[in-house]
Chains A and B, each alone.
Chain A
Amino acid sequence: MKRRSLLTVLGMSPFSAGMMAREVPDPQREAIRARYFPDVVLHTHEGKKVRLYRDLIQDKIVMINFMYAHCDGVCPGITANLVKVQRLLGDRVGRDIFMYSLSLKPEQDTPKVLKEYAQMHGVRRGWTFLTGHPKDVELLRRKLGARNLDPVLDADTSQHTGIIRYGNEPMRWWAACAGLSRPSWIVESVSWVDWPQNRVKPG
């Protein structure tokens, strides 16, 4: 399959960060921001304070998943997959593609715990683990569509969602894939929201 590793093949970012942000505000982009990305303050595993939209999402291609450090359900498999995804994407991660893992147990997952988790898994630059005020994390869990309609399953953190949201914020392209799919498939999925000029034509 030719498309499989196109992101690493192309390996270039056509937009410098912030370039599109200065264009005329786009009402649909604004609507997506308003609905899904409350600009709450989060803490990174490196101890930095960041704003969800302004610092993490705006102008970027992003991948967002949910986890917690002591999760022994889907998290280890997804984290292992994402480690491979980060390797496959190469130096675009941290340049125009950003990976985020949001802790669903913010009380336990302090920045220090998340840092240990990241180090243990060999996480590189451009992939950020996030924690925050429990209220904000719960808000984000709902906003990002990680809730379960069944209240029992919803209350059970071990049943938390294993999807990865991927999207291109300025292009307003958003979709999701399963965090337990093959890393090459996750990379291919993210390629579908790559900048238009990077889109590889088949053949």
Chain B
Amino acid sequence: MNQHERRIWSAAKNRRELISAGLSSRRDLAKLGLLTAAGFLVPKDGLSARSPKDHGTGGGQPVSAPTRSFIEPLPIMPVKQPVASLNPAPTVNPNTGAGEGRTRAHQALTLFPPRKLYQVTQQPAQISLSPDLPLQSMWSFDGMVPGPTYVARYGEPILVRNVNNLPNNNGGFGNNSVTTHLHNNHTPSESDGFPCDFFQSGQFYDQHYPCALAGFTDPQFQATQGDPREALSTLWYHDHRVDFTSQNVYKGLAGFFLLFNNQDTGDETTGFRLPSGQFDVPLVFNDKLFDQNGQLFFDLFNTDGILGDKFLVNGKIQPFFQVHPRRYRFRLLSGGPSRWYQFFLTDPTNLSKTIPFWQISNDGNLLPKPIQVTSTELAIAERMDVIVDFSQFTPGTSVFLENRLEQTDGRGPTGNVLAAGQGTSVLRFDIVLPPVADNSKDPATIAKFYDLPPVTPNQARVTRTFQFERGNGMWQINGQFMDCNTSRFQVQQNTSEVWILQNSSGGWMHPIHIHFEEHQIVSRNGQPPQLFERSRKDVVELHHNDQVMLFFRFRDFLGRHPMHCHNLVHEDHSMMLRWDIAPTGDTNPNP
């Protein structure tokens, strides 16, 4: 145990003693000066205890038992392997007789015949999140949490058969009818994981991913089979079961999906020459709570948002990661249910040292060019790809990935950015592996990834305004609630639109996700977006009283999609609407 770990361990022990002494309320601890304003215990550096503040249901949240930090290596999810064939073979129309739960025909299966076939199973699994906790009964893809990582390429369409083997016995939370959304993919509606396209245990559901660039039906992009500026790279898949998404995702149903092309190649000697292979590492962040038996706790009747006091990376509580002194690409994902993050690199021996790194994407879409930053913020479901060069550190030392964004409840971050060392270190990088070749390009010398597609709001067919509100304890959009059977508006295929998203919900913040087409931010509160938001995005952060104008182009496929808050608890409490892409659209400005 090093000094840092000793400090954490003793803080945890302190906490255990305080709790056993009956001093478990926030007020008790604050009175004794043992709690910071943020609700963290005063002993800091990685202790992720949160106050048992009584604003959940049932008179306070449980406080998870202490767990040691940085004693297990970071898990790397295996790459999902294709199968030679599927039996029965995939069909354009739903193969209902064979037990397929799909209800609509594939729009593009013959246009983009799958080059690779996959079969994945939603199944229960016993998962270790920490050696200090018992095995957890979770729901998984293929027996692992997070699920396996898909690696796909533009021009190589794939088909994924989901097989639902989840039991009726949910162990206390979760619904075993499921629908898998591939977040940010340009997917035809019937394969997108629409919230009401769930299928039952014992059924399967084929999802067809054309892996085609947006705009492939536009004659001007015929040669490139779509607009090359629309290339996606870091996506994730997760359950999207209407009303139960927060429970099912918290229970484990999520994983990464990476998309490469002839520029972001997955080979650091070609194309953009981004760190690749073992140096290209997806990182999903989650926070969770555990009950007095050390089992995952989910607050079923919480409508505000659920915060955990344990911080997981790739399904382990505060792991470490041994690195070579070279550049790595990390694909950061805030996996929910309700926490926002702002990550810094922290040198535990010199807290005042600022450690810059490179942000290369927003929502997994490569920026026009890398931006040097000292921190990166992620709301729920946002992805930020960053490049960190570990050759700048002394061999044998460690740096921490520290979340310094203060958040005390489901409303969103307080706005305070904690001082270095006062936040939560979720991951420790140990620079202990030997030097190796680094064929990746120095981000400082990368002049360009992709240009942004043009933003032409004056050519928009319609401008629509959406108010995100809370009324009588219910989340709503333009005063209405989620209903899968009611399409709130029709977008006309092959047109562009401007959407204005307004946060009118008082003290609440919402990360709003729109399926199928990416947007660009035209303006945020009348101002042009900051550099890191000059990007293609699929999640837009709505801070207090924000008004954000978005520009979209809708192309290629028809069908229904949702727009929703990605605070999974808000999403499950009706902060979602259905819209459709249709041959003929409407012009409703306030749908």
- Determine which residue in A143, A173, A178, A196 has the highest number of CB atoms from chain B within 10 A of its CB, and name it: A178
Q: What's the nearest-Cβ distance from chain B to residue A44, in Å? A: 23
Contacts of B30-59 to chain A: CB distance below 8 A: 55-59
| Contact code string A43-63 (vs B, CB < 8 Å = 1, else 0) | 000000000000000000000
Q: Answer whether A28 and B171 are a contact pair too, CB < 8 Å, given A180-B481, A184-B485.
A: yes
Inter-subunit contact B301/A143 (CB<8 Å): yes
Task: List the A residue with the shortest CB-CB distance to B475.
Answer: A178
Interface secondary structure of B, over-half rule: loop
Inter-subunit contact B58/A35 (CB<8 Å): yes
- A174 interface residue (CB < 8 Å to B): yes
- B200 interface residue (CB < 8 Å to A): yes
Q: Given A31, A163, A165, A188, which contacts B474 in the complex, CB threshold below 8 Å?
A: A163
- A199 interface residue (CB < 8 Å to B): yes
From B21-29, B65-73, B172-180, give the one contacting chain A: B172-180
Inter-subunit contact B483/A182 (CB<8 Å): yes
- A203 interface residue (CB < 8 Å to B): yes
- B243 interface residue (CB < 8 Å to A): yes
Inter-subunit contact A192/B177 (CB<8 Å): yes
Please give, as numbers and ranges, the residues of chain B lying within 8 Å of A13 by CB-CB distance.
Answer: none
Task: List the B residue with the shortest CB-CB distance to A144.
Answer: B301
Please give, as numbers and ranges, the residues of chain A lying within 8 Å of B85 by CB-CB distance.
Answer: none
- A150 interface residue (CB < 8 Å to B): yes
Please give, as numbers and ranges, the residues of chain B lying within 8 Å of A4 by CB-CB distance.
Answer: 485
Inter-subunit contact A161/B172 (CB<8 Å): no
Inter-subunit contact B302/A145 (CB<8 Å): yes
Contacts of B501-540 to chain A: CB distance below 8 A: 506-507
- A189 interface residue (CB < 8 Å to B): yes
Inter-subunit contact A174/B301 (CB<8 Å): yes
| Contact code string B193-223 (vs A, CB < 8 Å = 1, else 0) | 0000001100100000000000000000000
Give Cα distance in the complex from A199 to B198, angstroms.
12
Inter-subunit contact A161/B171 (CB<8 Å): no
Q: Given B170, B203, B301, B484, which contacts A145 in the complex, CB threshold below 8 Å?
A: B301
Q: Answer whether A162 and B473 are a contact pair too, CB < 8 Å, given A35-B58, A185-B485.
A: yes
Q: What's the nearest-Cβ distance from chain A to residue B291, in Å? A: 7
Please give, as numbers and ranges, the residues of chain A lying within 8 Å of B304 by CB-CB distance.
Answer: 149
- Determine which residue in B244, B291, B474 has the highest number of CB atoms from chain A within 10 A of its CB, and name it: B474
Residues of B in contact, count (CB < 8 Å)? 50
Task: List the A residue with the shortest CB-CB distance to B479.
Answer: A180
Give Cα distance in the complex from A159 to B471, angstroms.
7
Q: What's the nearest-Cβ distance from chain A to residue B244, in Å? A: 6
Inter-subunit contact B172/A172 (CB<8 Å): yes
- B482 interface residue (CB < 8 Å to A): yes
- A17 interface residue (CB < 8 Å to B): no
- A119 interface residue (CB < 8 Å to B): no
Inter-subunit contact B483/A163 (CB<8 Å): no
Please give, as numbers and ranges, the residues of chain A lying within 8 Å of B57 by CB-CB distance.
Answer: 35-36, 142-145, 147
- A73 interface residue (CB < 8 Å to B): yes
Q: Answer whether A142 and B474 are a contact pair too, CB < 8 Å, given A173-B175, A177-B574.
A: no
Inter-subunit contact A148/B473 (CB<8 Å): yes
| Contact code string B92-114 (vs A, CB < 8 Å = 1, else 0) | 00101000111100000000000
Q: What's the nearest-Cβ distance from chain B to residue A6, in Å? A: 13
Please give, as numbers and ranges, the residues of chain A lying within 8 Å of B474 by CB-CB distance.
Answer: 161-163, 178-180
Task: List the B residue with the shortest CB-CB distance to A185.
Answer: B483
Q: What's the nearest-Cβ distance from chain B to residue A71, in Å? A: 10
Give Cα distance in the complex from A188 to B410, angstroms.
28
Give Cα distance in the complex from A36 to B300, angstroms.
9
Cross-chain pair count, CB within 8 angstroms: 130
Give Cα distance in the complex from A202 to B300, angstroms.
27
Q: Answer whether A203 and B473 are a contact pair too, CB < 8 Å, given A143-B301, A192-B175.
A: no
Inter-subunit contact A196/B409 (CB<8 Å): no
- A83 interface residue (CB < 8 Å to B): no
Q: What's the nearest-Cβ distance from chain A to residue B568, in Å? A: 12
Inter-subunit contact B481/A203 (CB<8 Å): no
Inter-subunit contact B199/A202 (CB<8 Å): yes
Inter-subunit contact B481/A178 (CB<8 Å): yes
Inter-subunit contact B291/A199 (CB<8 Å): no
Please give, as numbers and ranges, the residues of chain A lying within 8 Å of B352 by CB-CB distance.
Answer: none
- A171 interface residue (CB < 8 Å to B): yes
Q: What's the nearest-Cβ distance from chain B to residue A7, in Å? A: 15
Please give, as numbers and ranges, the residues of chain A lying within 8 Å of B573 by CB-CB distance.
Answer: 163, 176, 178
Task: List the B residue with the shortest CB-CB distance to A161.
Answer: B473
Give Cα distance in the complex from A31 to B103, angstroms.
37
Please give, as numbers and ranges, the residues of chain B lying within 8 Å of A184 by CB-CB distance.
Answer: 485
Task: List the A residue with the shortest CB-CB distance to B572.
Answer: A175
Q: Answer whether A174 and B173 are a contact pair too, CB < 8 Å, given A32-B300, A202-B199.
A: yes
Please give, as numbers and ranges, the residues of chain A lying within 8 Å of B302 by CB-CB distance.
Answer: 145
- B411 interface residue (CB < 8 Å to A): yes
Q: Answer whether A143 and B55 are a contact pair too, CB < 8 Å, given A177-B574, A192-B175, A202-B199.
A: no
Contacts of B375-412 to chain A: CB distance below 8 A: 409-411
Give Cα distance in the complex from A170 to B100, angstroms.
28
Task: List the B residue with the shortest CB-CB distance to A174.
Answer: B300
Q: What's the nearest-Cβ distance from chain B to residue A140, in Å? A: 11
Q: Given A147, A150, A161, which contacts B472 in the complex, CB threshold below 8 Å?
A: A161
Q: What's the nearest-Cβ distance from chain A to residue B63, in Å? A: 15
Give Cα distance in the complex from A73 to B473, angstroms.
13
Inter-subunit contact B301/A36 (CB<8 Å): yes
Please give, as numbers and ranges, the residues of chain A lying within 8 Å of B506 by CB-CB distance.
Answer: 150
Please give, as numbers and ranges, the residues of chain A lying within 8 Å of B94 by CB-CB distance.
Answer: 203
- B303 interface residue (CB < 8 Å to A): yes
Task: List the B residue with the shortest CB-CB distance to A171.
Answer: B168
Please give, as numbers and ranges, the residues of chain A lying within 8 Å of B473 by CB-CB distance.
Answer: 146, 148, 159-163
Inter-subunit contact B301/A182 (CB<8 Å): no
- A74 interface residue (CB < 8 Å to B): yes
Task: List the A residue with the shortest CB-CB distance to B172.
Answer: A28
Please give, as numbers and ranges, the residues of chain B lying within 8 Å of A188 by CB-CB distance.
Answer: 484-485
Show the binding face of B for A, using Cβ within 8 Å. 55-59, 94, 96, 100-103, 168, 170-173, 175, 177, 199-200, 203, 243-244, 247, 291, 299-304, 409-411, 471-474, 476, 481-486, 506-507, 572-574
Known: A148-B473, A182-B486, A185-B486. 8 other contacts (CB 8 A): A147-B55, A172-B171, A176-B303, A176-B573, A179-B474, A185-B484, A203-B100, A203-B101
List 6 A-B pairs, Cβ < 8 Å.
A172-B173, A175-B247, A177-B243, A182-B486, A192-B244, A199-B177
Show the binding face of A for B, using Cβ within 8 Å. 1, 4, 28-29, 31-32, 35-36, 73-74, 142-150, 159-163, 165, 171-182, 184-185, 188-189, 192, 196, 199, 201-203
Q: Which 6 A-B pairs have the closest CB atoms?
A: A161-B473, A145-B301, A28-B172, A203-B96, A178-B481, A162-B472
